[in-house]
Amino acid sequence: MPVLGQNQYGKAENRVVRVTRDGATHHIKDLNVSVALSGDMDEVHLSGSNAHVLTTDATKNTVFAFAKEHGIASAEQFGIHLARHFVTSQPAVTTARIRIEEYAWERIATEGEDRHSFVRTNQETRTAQITFDGTAWEIVAGLKDLVVMNTTDSEFKGYVKDRYTTLRETDDRILATEVHARWRHAWTGDEANTPDWDGSYARTRGHLLRAFAETYSLSLQQTLYAMGARVIDSGPEIDEIRLSLPNKHHFLVDLTPFGLKNDDEVYFAADRPYGLIEATVLREGVRPAIPVDLTNLP
């Protein structure tokens, strides 16, 4: 006999742009917000009764109304407002999960006094996932599509070789990757000790970049751990970080057919297939909670 398992519903990818006008100076927050609600929803599946269903259209409208009423101080804080609202205002909703992507804009410098022109930056996308079940909070911040490269200080040798191994050892190579990271905050809902979410994001991003740049890499795995360890060692605000690092391979091009010597100058950037290195770095004594597979996270 079939039984209903875990289920959720909501409105995905609500694109909301909030402009804050401070005289001639404007500020932008550009978010992609997905709402997922779960709780006492068996009957809508089993009998078609909508008695406990808040429409997905209403969840969409809430996102836009809250952007006006509460503003968007940060992706995390906006998600907290939404999650608390859905769980506390709807008796049938016991858990709300808010996933957010934030897109960055950079102000265009102008000679005049007006400061309302922006260019979309081509850097990483900031992410956040906020989950609230009426009692416990889980805040997972992160980023994706942060492309980084070291043109030296990376080697790869001493690995297992079998009959199918063709890769040559190297003591100097390009190391490039596209960082996808999620980190879980230790914050449990104490309003008096709410983190500075924007500041925490900037610090964590900085730790990831500096660790990548400052680590002499014997393998991408070693670099990944150095990046995660730098974040955990930086302070008590983060308990866990999950990193997914594709190895963006760069291969030296053989120029000998053209009578040219390639002195580690010209490379072919291969987009696929690619090695994929993933791992979690935890504070000692903390149990992991971030899913191993990051592909379905924002």
pLDDT of residue 96: 98
Residues 293 and 159 in one domain: yes
Whether 97 is in a domain gets the answer yes
Q: Which of 65, 70, 93 minimizes the C-alpha distance to 81?
A: 70
Whether 200 is in a domain gets the answer yes
β-pairing verdict for 275-282 and 93-103: unpaired
pLDDT of residue 114: 66
Whether 208 is in a domain gets the answer yes
Residues 103 and 217 in one domain: no
* pLDDT over 90, % of the chain: 88
Among 90, 116, 134, identify where a domain stops: 134
Q: Report the CATH number that the domain containing residue 86 is assigned in CATH.
A: 3.10.270.10
Residues 192 and 287 in one domain: yes
Residues 274 and 196 in one domain: yes
Mean pLDDT in residue range 272-288: 96
d(CA 26, CA 115): 6
Among 134, 160, 183, identify where a domain stops: 134
Whether 191 is in a domain gets the answer yes
Among 104, 134, 164, identify where a domain stops: 134
Range list of H helices, 40-188: 42-46, 56-69, 75-89
- Indicate the number of domains in the chain: 2
Residue 204: phi, psi to the nearest 5?
Answer: -65, -45
Higher-confidence residue of 105 and 114: namely 105
pLDDT of residue 122 exceeding 70: yes
CB 146 within 8 A of CB 126: no
Residues 170 and 210 in one domain: yes
Q: Residue 128, exposed/middle/buried by CB under 10 A (0-12, 13-18, 19+)?
A: buried
Q: Which two tokens stand for residue 183?
A: 């980190």
Mean pLDDT in residue range 13-38: 94
d(CA 114, CA 108): 10
pLDDT, tens only, 234-243: 999 999 999 9
Residues 85 and 147 in one domain: no
Q: Using alpha carbons only, how large is the chain's radius of gyration in Å?
A: 23
Residues 154 and 283 in one domain: yes
158: left (phi over 0), alpha (psi -120 to 50) or beta: left
d(CA 39, CA 21): 39
The sign of the torsion formed by the CA atoms of 16, 205, 274, 268 equals positive
Residues 123 and 207 in one domain: no
Active site residues: 11, 56, 249
- Residue length of the chain: 298
Residue 200: phi, psi to the nearest 5?
Answer: -65, -40
Residues 171 and 261 in one domain: yes
Residues 115 and 169 in one domain: no
Which domain range does residue 22 map to? 7-134
C-alpha pair distances (Å), 142 with each of 33, 112, 237, 297? 15, 36, 14, 10
| SS3 of 191-204 | HHHCCCHHHHHHHH
Residues 120 and 210 in one domain: no
Q: Quick check: pTM over 0.85? A: yes
pLDDT of residue 298 exceeding 50: no
